């Protein structure tokens, strides 16, 4: 769950890598570092974001690669920061992934007298590579076989040669007029010819030449960059920009869906399992309600991290996996199990070039545009939109949506939402309870996650009727309970509000911040979640937090 980026070419490689890592910083920002070639590799490292790195190298080098880290092995300190260099200084490398047998290898190397200076599995890779014998190419082939787990690696040799290997974790090469670029995320790359590495690929780059050392035919395809998506424009943070981008993302997704024969996919199946993690799982819960209650399919949702496929999958059973990045490790793991049991996968993702996009039997691409803030906003809304669209399309063969009206309604709605007074009430709270029923409860799971991850406030989402079965003990005169009621069925909520008020607590109905009654019922969940997204964003500002980069988190969870 880190970002890696490299450059070999005629430009200032250090600056190219620094720029590239800026586009990848959403993947991790605990620490960062760049290795650049100057008669051997030299390294600059820093704790925290790229702002803490030197903005230029001591020399103008034409070879460099770097890393922005989300800590998995070893705490955040300078010794654990990438790049890592081998004990004999022959190799320097950066790594995204997890080496499962690192501890065993490390003990064996220590017994041989090999020194270690970090707690990372990455230094284990570097030192293991230096202890292997034979030609470099053969040593890297053997390294690949010895390592267990997931990895994408840029390996620099003291001669200036660069080697690339990967297993599970993504890695891409791009050729352009000014050089060769390497990145763990294709969206950070410029215009040029793109090759996405496959597992077992071993590639060497020497003097601007790309050489396949494995039995690989490198087939490049044209890649057009969308680098403008990395600019914030008039907004102070990506998160706010992305909330305001939601209507356009939904419009683009609609036009994409209209070109796909979605009904043809679903006519082959009558049983569905919806899988995702975090925000994507919350969209699955909405999808389950749509597909089971509206369309009357047999549907269940499951957290990908808690799902084991251990028996034969029926032919009429479709697994729908939702992943913003298409690189979510837990989703990839369960997808592999599904494929092993001859199951079929429909992937809903925002990244058409992702690992899971290549694994899936069917794909629906959300057209939300690049999302750089760690907290998902517009991608969640487009995922929910996809499920609403699918359910209506299956239910009504002549279904047509006035997408311009929906987009315009959303644009006006977002601009009108005022949350300042509520934000001032919530910003100093250390806990919040959120209550609702049916589909509103599924929405509140996502709302509570936004407040937890961005504002560090402990949130308890629950069915309104369950409050009195234990959690009412938490209510006192300082308590604020947020309620959501998009169905306008107030019977149960009114009873619960009375119970809270009688104990000195305050209930705030978020759906009353702005009238949602006139909006299409099937798309109302999109309208309902946006006030919570804005609430979490503005609480973060009041608390002096960076909403784009919450602590301990990263955008794309590519490790289990």
For residue 553, being part of any structural domain is answered with no
- Tell me which of 2, 32, 302, 381 is the catalytic residue: 2
pLDDT at 305 over 70: yes
**What separation in angstroms does the CA of 1 have from each of 6, 24, 26, 484, 518?**
17, 10, 10, 34, 42
Task: Give the contacts of 394 (CB within 8 A, at least 6 positions apart).
Answer: 263, 266, 295
- For residues 464 and 489, membership in a common domain is answered with yes
pLDDT of amino acid 339? 92
User: Is 70 exceeded by the pLDDT of residue 555?
Assistant: no
Per the listing, tokens 């009504």 go with: 396
557 occurs within a structural domain: no
Residues 130 and 271 in one domain: no
**36-63: pLDDT as tens digits:** 999 889 999 999 888 898 888 888 999 9
CATH code, domain with 164: 3.60.20.10
113 is in which domain, residue-wise?
Answer: 3-228
User: Does the annotation count 23 as an active-site position?
Assistant: no
**Does pLDDT of 559 surpass 70?**
no
Domain termination site, one of 228, 262, 286: 228
Beta-carbon count within 10 A of 244 CB? 19
Same domain, 107 and 215: yes
Mean pLDDT over residues 369-389, rounded? 94
Closest CA to 36 of 97, 88, 81, 94: 94
Q: d(Cα 314, Cα 205) in Å, to the nearest integer?
A: 46
Residue 463 burial (CB count, 10 A): 16
In this prediction, residue 516 carries a pLDDT of 80
Note whether residue 233 is domain-resident: no
Looking at the domain assignment, is residue 559 inside a domain?
no
Give the confidence band of 375 by pLDDT, cuts at 50, 70, 90: very high
Question: Distance (Å, rounded) from C-alpha 431 to C-alpha 297?
Answer: 38
Pairing mode, strands 431-436 and 458-463: parallel
Residue in 190, 450, 524, 555 annotated catalytic:
555
pLDDT band with cut points at 50, 70 and 90 for residue 229: low
First vs last Cα of the chain: how many Å apart? 10
User: In 3D, which of 208, 204, 197, 252 has the Cα closest to residue 229?
Assistant: 252
pLDDT at 228: 56
Per the prediction, the chain carries an average pLDDT of 90
Rank 330-334, 472-476, 534-538 by mean pLDDT and report only the highest: 534-538
Count Cβ atoms below 10 Å from residue 372 Cβ, excluding itself.
Answer: 22
399 and 432 in a single domain? The answer is yes
Q: Given pLDDT bands bounded at 50, 70 and 90, which one contains residue 226?
A: low
Contact of 354 with 326, CB cutoff 8 Å: yes
SS3 at position 431: strand
**492-546 pLDDT, tens per residue?**
667 777 888 888 889 998 988 888 878 888 899 999 999 999 999 999 999 999 9
Assess whether 267 and 222 both reside in one domain: no
Is 532 in the same domain as 477? yes
Residue 549 Cα distances to 109, 153, 227, 465, angstroms: 37, 25, 20, 35
| pLDDT, position 288 | 96
Q: Are strands 3-9 and 179-183 parallel, antiparallel or unpaired?
A: antiparallel
Asked if pLDDT for residue 467 goes beyond 90, the answer is no
Contact between 280 and 324 under an 8 Å Cβ cutoff? The reply is yes
Closest Cα partner for 505 from 474, 484, 472, 476? 476
pLDDT at 15: 94
In three-state secondary structure terms, 69 is: strand
Least confident segment among 248-252, 307-311, 392-396, 554-558: 554-558
Same domain, 222 and 284: no
Contact 403/412 with Cβ under 8 angstroms?
Answer: no
230 pLDDT higher than 80? no
Residues 198 and 262 in one domain: no
pLDDT digits (tens, 9 = 90+) for 51-94: 898 888 888 999 999 999 877 777 888 899 999 999 999 999 99
Answer yes or no: is 101 within a domain: yes
Residue 148 burial by Cβ neighbours in a 10 Å radius (0-12, 13-18, 19+) = middle
Q: Which pLDDT score is estimated for 227?
A: 55
Sheet containing 91-99: order of strands: 84-85, 91-99, 149-157, 162-167, 202-206, 209-212
CATH, residue 279: 3.40.50.10490
User: Is 489 domain-assigned?
Assistant: yes
- The count of residues in the chain is 560
**Tokens linked to 148:** 């267990």
Closest by CA to 81, choosing from 90, 94, 91, is 94
Answer with the one of 228, 246, 264 that is the final residue of a domain. 228
26 pLDDT exceeds 80? Answer: no
264 annotated active-site: no
Digit-coded pLDDT (tens) for 411-423? 999 999 999 999 9
Q: What percentage of residues in the chain have a pLDDT greater than 90? A: 61
Instruction: For residue 501, tell me if it sits in a domain.
Output: yes
Query: What's the structural domain count of the chain?
Result: 2
- 459: pLDDT strictly greater than 80: yes
In this structure, is residue 552 part of a structural domain? no
Apex 388 CA angle, 465 and 534, nearest 5: 65
Condensed to tens digits (0 to 9), the pLDDT of residues 429-456 reads: 999 999 998 899 999 999 999 999 999 9
* Strand pairing class (3-9; 63-69): antiparallel
Please state whether beta strands 3-9 and 149-157 pair in parallel, antiparallel, or not at all (unpaired): unpaired
- Per-residue pLDDT tens digits for 265-301: 998 899 999 999 999 999 999 999 999 988 889 999 9
Same domain for 405 and 303, yes or no, is yes
**Band of the pLDDT at 490, cuts 50, 70, 90?**
low
Strand order in the sheet with 172-176: 41-47, 31-37, 63-69, 3-9, 179-183, 172-176, 192-196, 221-223
* pTM of the predicted protein model: 0.85
For residues 79 and 176, membership in a common domain is answered with yes
Q: What is the pLDDT of residue 489?
A: 67
Task: State which of 204, 228, 252 marks the end of a domain.
Answer: 228
Domain check: are 255 and 318 in the same one?
A: yes
Pair (247, 224) in one structural domain: no
Q: Which of 382, 373, 375, 352 is nearest to 246 (CA)?
A: 382
Q: Are residues 324 and 351 in contact, defined by beta-carbon separation less than 8 angstroms?
A: yes
pLDDT at 458 over 90: yes
């Amino acid at each position: 769950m880190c970002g890696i980026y490299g450059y070999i070419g005629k430009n200032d490689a250090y600056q190219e890598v620094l720029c590239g890592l800026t586009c990848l910083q959403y993947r991790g920002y605990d620490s960062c570092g760049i290795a650049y070639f100057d008669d051997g590799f030299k390294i600059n490292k820093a704790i925290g974001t790229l702002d803490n790195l030197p903005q230029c190298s001591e020399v103008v080098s034409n070879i460099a690669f770097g890393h922005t880290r989300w800590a998995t092995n070893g705490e955040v300190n300078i010794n654990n920061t990438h790049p890592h260099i081998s004990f004999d200084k022959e190799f320097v490398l950066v790594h995204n992934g997890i080496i499962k047998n690192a501890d065993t290898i490390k003990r064996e190397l220590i017994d041989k007298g090999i020194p270690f200076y970090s707690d990372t599995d990455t230094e284990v890779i570097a030192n293991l590579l230096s202890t292997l014998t034979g030609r470099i190419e053969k040593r890297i082939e053997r390294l690949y076989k010895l390592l267990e787990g997931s990895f994408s690696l840029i390996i620099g040799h003291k001669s200036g040669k660069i080697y690339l290997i990967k297993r599970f974790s993504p890695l891409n090469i791009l050729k352009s007029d000014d050089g060769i670029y390497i990145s763990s995320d294709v969206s950070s790359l410029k215009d040029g010819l793109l090759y996405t590495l496959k597992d077992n690929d071993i590639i060497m780059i020497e003097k601007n030449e790309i050489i396949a050392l494995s039995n690989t035919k490198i087939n490049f395809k044209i890649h057009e960059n969308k680098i403008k998506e990395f600019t914030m424009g008039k907004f102070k943070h990506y998160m706010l920009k992305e909330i305001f981008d939601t209507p356009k993302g939904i419009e683009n997704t609609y036009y994409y869906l209209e070109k796909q024969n979605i009904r043809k996919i679903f006519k082959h199946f009558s049983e569905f399992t919806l899988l995702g993690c975090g925000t994507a799982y919350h969209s699955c819960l909405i999808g389950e309600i749509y597909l089971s209650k509206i369309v009357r399919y047999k549907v269940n949702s499951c957290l990908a991290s808690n799902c084991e496929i251990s028996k034969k999958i029926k032919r009429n059973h479709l697994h729908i996996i939702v992943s913003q990045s298409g690189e979510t490790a837990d989703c990839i793991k369960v997808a592999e199990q599904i494929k092993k049991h001859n199951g079929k996968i429909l992937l809903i993702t925002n990244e058409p070039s992702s690992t899971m996009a290549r694994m899936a039997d069917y794909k629906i691409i959300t057209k939300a545009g690049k999302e750089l803030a760690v907290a998902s906003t517009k991608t969640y809304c487009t995922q929910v939109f996809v499920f609403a669209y699918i359910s209506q399309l299956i239910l009504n063969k002549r279904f047509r949506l006035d997408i311009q009206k929906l987009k315009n309604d959303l644009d006006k709605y977002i601009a009108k939402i005022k949350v300042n007074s509520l934000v001032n009430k919530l910003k100093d709270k250390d806990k919040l309870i959120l209550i609702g029923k049916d589909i509103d409860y599924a929405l509140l799971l996502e709302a509570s996650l936004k407040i937890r991850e961005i504002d560090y406030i402990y949130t308890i989402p629950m069915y309104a009727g369950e409050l009195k079965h234990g959690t009412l003990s938490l209510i006192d005169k300082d308590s604020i309970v947020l309620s959501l009621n998009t169905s306008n069925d107030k019977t149960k909520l009114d009873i619960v509000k009375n119970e809270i008020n009688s104990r000195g607590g305050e209930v705030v109905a978020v759906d009353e911040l702005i009238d949602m009654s006139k909006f299409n019922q099937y798309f109302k969940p999109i309208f309902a979640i946006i006030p919570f997204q804005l609430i979490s964003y503005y609480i973060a500002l009041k608390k002096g937090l960076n909403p784009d980069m919450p602590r301990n988190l990263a955008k794309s969870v590519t490790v289990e």
